[in-house]
Amino acid sequence: EPEVTQTPSHQVTQMGQEVILRCVPISNHLYFYWYRQILGQKVEFLVSFYNNEISEKSEIFDDQFSVERPDGSNFTLKIRSTKLEDSAMYFCASTDGGALGGYTFGSGTRLTVV
Amino acid sequence: QKEVEQDPGPLSVPEGAIVSLNCTYSNSAFQYFMWYRQYSRKGPELLMYTYSSGNKEDGRFTAQVDKSSKYISLFIRDSQPSDSATYLCAMIAGNQFYFGTGTSLTVIP
């Protein structure tokens, strides 16, 4: 079964550093998303991406964040100048834009900012 | 007021019990209603989705939506230890998913 793959599974970084979280969506999918889940809290929408541009973003997704699809397979989330409160699980998701059953999440990257 | 409210639990039931999980919402614009299961350190996995009021069955799972009350439920019949996970309700408005906080369920053998 096709999967959304995220790397690394766990990233530890010092406060103020930049991190890049990587995702490989399902190959024929067209829409890509990043969500985060702070420990014990709900899954929160960050950004959606279609046709090489951001289609929607939440209030959380400020200038500290950026997304990129550098090639035909990867979809990255960059967090500049990380803060302690950025510690969370970050999930990538992709869909072909069709039935909801095609909306697939990756296993997540656990980001720990120390 | 939060968009989606879900009791975080934890909920602990004996094997074979019927489990009832619930969410309420405030936004009338929500069109699709989903239930996801999330195992520890994994991404959410879609269990069921529906867009209309009423019941939808899939094996041991029944999703129920009451749009007039802005209330959705997931019922699990004959619960198994493998059902132990966090269950998240989710709803779509526009291009965004809105998730509940998730209910942690443990099914005791």
Tens digits of residue pLDDT in B37-93: 998 878 888 898 888 889 999 999 999 999 999 999 999 999 999 999 999 999 887
Q: Report the pLDDT value the prediction gives residue B98, as an integer from 0 to 100.
A: 86
Q: What is the mean pLDDT of residues A84-107?
A: 84
**Does the pLDDT at position B1 exceed 80?**
no
Of A33, A101, A107, the CB nearest to B42: A107
Contacts of A57 (CB under 8 A, 6+ apart): A46, A47, A48
Q: Report the pLDDT value the prediction gives residue B28, as an integer from 0 to 100.
A: 87
Tell me the residue type at A74: N
* pLDDT band per the 50, 70, 90 thresholds, residue B95: low
Structure tokens at B21: 């999980």
Q: Report the pLDDT value the prediction gives residue B16, as an integer from 0 to 100.
A: 97
Structure tokens at B54: 């009423």
Of B8, B10, B20, B18, nearest to B71 by C-alpha is B20
Q: Report the pLDDT value the prediction gives residue A103, as an integer from 0 to 100.
A: 77
**What are the backbone angles phi and psi of residue B97, rounded to the nearest 5°?**
-90, 140
Q: Report the pLDDT value the prediction gives residue A21, as an integer from 0 to 100.
A: 97
Question: In chain A, which residues have their Cβ closer than 8 Å to the Cβ of B98?
Answer: 45
**Does the pLDDT at position A2 exceed 80?**
no
Q: Report the pLDDT value the prediction gives residue B49, as an integer from 0 to 100.
A: 86
Q: What is the mean pLDDT of residues A1-19?
A: 93
CB–CB contact B88 A106 (8 Å): no
**Does the pLDDT at position B97 exceed 90?**
no
Structure tokens at A29: 């999918």
Tens digits of residue pLDDT in A22-71: 999 998 888 899 999 998 788 898 999 998 899 889 999 999 999 999 88
Q: How far is A17 from chain B (nearest CA, A)?
A: 24
Residue B75 bridge partners (DSSP): B20, B62
**Does the pLDDT at position A74 exceed 60?**
yes
Whole-number Å distance between alpha carbons of A45 and A73: 22
Q: How far is A44 from chain B (nearest CA, A)?
A: 7
Residue tagged 């095609």 (tokens): A102
**What are the backbone angles phi and psi of residue A97, rounded to the nearest 5°?**
90, 0
